[in-house]
Structures are given as structure tokens and as C-alpha cells.
Structure 1
Amino acid sequence: MLVRLLYVSRLADTSPDAIETILAQSRGHNPGSGITGVLCYGEGIFLQAIEGGRCAVNALYGQILRDPRHHQVELLHYEEIAERRFGCWTMGQVNLSKINHAILLKYSERAELDPYAVSGQVSLALLEELMATASIIGRA
């Protein structure tokens, strides 16, 4: 059974090296676990959708909850799915500093990433629009 999980967290270390380390670990681990997804980061916030088998996704989310690099982890959305939306990426990424801020303003009160202030459905819609506008990179 496939599921999609969407969560938000704040990073303890927001340096480019720390973010690249997390992405590299995801891209190295996820294919063997059948996990795909996308990660959106900006201003110290991670918004991540992960898809795959229920056991694998649940196990990965458990690791994220215990990971000291993540703080204020909140589950925004969890659902059983018939098919993947982010199946092309072992872990695609969006760097918000390089996108049109009008996209962010479309989904929130201010042109900034704040998944803590909007619903999980709104955050998922933002990720889908970023995918549709080719703002997601890193298909590896």
C-alpha cells in the first residue's frame, strides 16, 4: 500500500553543507526503500513530502522525528494514495531563494514559506505548483 506523508521542521543547522548532507543521505537511502519525494527549504524550514510503502514511509518519518538536525517536526498530511505524485525524484529539491515569490503569496498571507501557518492541503498544493512550474530540481 502506497502512502504520502507531508511534514514540516526547522533545521538546527541551515548551512548549505548541512542541507546538502541531508539531501545526499536521502538520495542514497530512498531508492533502496522505494521512497520518492520532494523537499522544499527556505529560511531554516523544511517542507517535505515523502511517498512509498506504508512501512518504509512510517520508518523514515520515525527517523526524522529522532534526528537532532530537525526541530519542531509537525505532521501536516498523511494519506493512502493510488499513485505517486513525486515518483520522478528520489528526493527532489526546491530552493525558495530562487523562485518567484508570487507563488508563495498565492498560498499564504505573506510571500514566505510558513507551513506552520497553513493547512497540509495548502502546503501540498504549493509543492504541486512548484513541480508544475519546473521549480523542483535534483531528479537523481
Structure 2
Amino acid sequence: MLVRLLYASRAAQPLTGDIIDSILAQSRAHNPAHGVTGILCYSGDVFMQVLEGGRDAVCELYNTIVRDPRHQQVRLLAYEEISERRFASWTMGQVNLARVNASLLLKYAEKPVIDPFSCSGAASMALLDELIATASVLGKAQ
């Protein structure tokens, strides 16, 4: 059974390029063997991530993230059984916020920033879908 999970968290420490690279490298190394695909979006100290795959693999990975000291205030935004993946060709995509138009962010939030803590899980997922549609995502290769 396939599931999709969307969560948000805050970085426990200020984000650096090395921390982001480490998280992405770990995801890209771990996820293919476990059948997990997804996308990671970050801005300032906020992470928003979609995980897709088998129920056990996705739930175990989410539980690992909840316990990860790099994350705090981990919040489950959406969880659903799915018939197909949205991110089937992604081991872990990364949103390039430099390419994001502020008006797109304002479509889903009160301010032109990524803040999944102040909007619904459905709005956060819709924003991620639009980011992909506007080619604001890096790292599609598996």
C-alpha cells in the first residue's frame, strides 16, 4: 500500500549549506533502497517535506525525522493512502527558492514566505505542486 505524508519542522540550529547538503545526501542515499520518493522545501529555518512510498517505510522514516536532533516542532500536515505517486522519479527534490515568485507564495499564505505552520496541509501540498509545475525544483535525478 502506497502512502503520502507531508510534514513541516523547524531547524534546531541555523541552516547552513553543509547541513542542507547532508540532509539531501542522506535522503538520496537512503530512500531508493526503501522505495521512498519525495521533495524537500526549506526557507529560513522551516522545512516542509513530502514522503511517498510503502506505509511501513514512510512511517519509519517519519519517526526517524521526529527523533532527529536537527528538527524541532515537527508537525504532521497530511497523511493519505494513494493509488500513485506524484514524485515517482524523485529520490529527494529540492526547491530552489530563488526561482519562486512572491505572488505564488501569496496565493497560499498571508505573507510571501513558506510557512506551512500557518496554512492547511492541502494548501501546502498545492504550493509544492505549483513549485514543481513552475520548475522551481532541483535534483529530479535518482
Alignment of 1:72-111 (within 5 A): 72-111=73-112
Alignment of 1:7-46 (within 5 A): 7-13=7-13, 14-46=15-47
Deviations 1:63-85 (A, max 9, x none): 00000000000000000000000
The whole-number CA distance in structure 1 between the counterparts of 2:97 and 2:47 is 11
Whether the 8 Å CA contact 1:31–1:90 is kept in 2: the answer is yes
State the one-letter code of the partner of 1:65: V
State the one-letter code of the partner of 1:126: L
Deviations 1:21-49 (A, max 9, x none): 00000000000000000011101100000
Identity %: 61
With normalisation by structure 1, the TM-score equals: 0.97
State the one-letter code of the partner of 2:115: D
Please report the RMSD computed on the Cα atoms of aligned residues, expressed in angstroms: 0.8
The whole-number CA distance in structure 2 between the counterparts of 1:121 and 1:109 is 15
Deviations 1:62-116 (A, max 9, x none): 0000000000000000000000001111000103233211111111111001100
The whole-number CA distance in structure 2 between the counterparts of 1:3 and 1:74 is 17
Q: Secondary structure at the match of 1:75?
A: strand
The whole-number CA distance in structure 1 between the counterparts of 2:81 and 2:12 is 31
Whether the 8 Å CA contact 1:42–1:95 is kept in 2: the answer is no
The whole-number CA distance in structure 1 between the counterparts of 2:28 and 2:98 is 22
Alignment of 1:61-80 (within 5 A): 61-80=62-81
Deviations 1:5-36 (A, max 9, x none): 00000012311110110000000000000000
The whole-number CA distance in structure 1 between the counterparts of 2:57 and 2:35 is 8
The whole-number CA distance in structure 2 between the counterparts of 1:128 and 1:47 is 13
Gaps of 5+ in 1: none
The whole-number CA distance in structure 1 between the counterparts of 2:22 and 2:55 is 25
Aligned length: 140
Whether the 8 Å CA contact 1:42–1:97 is kept in 2: the answer is no
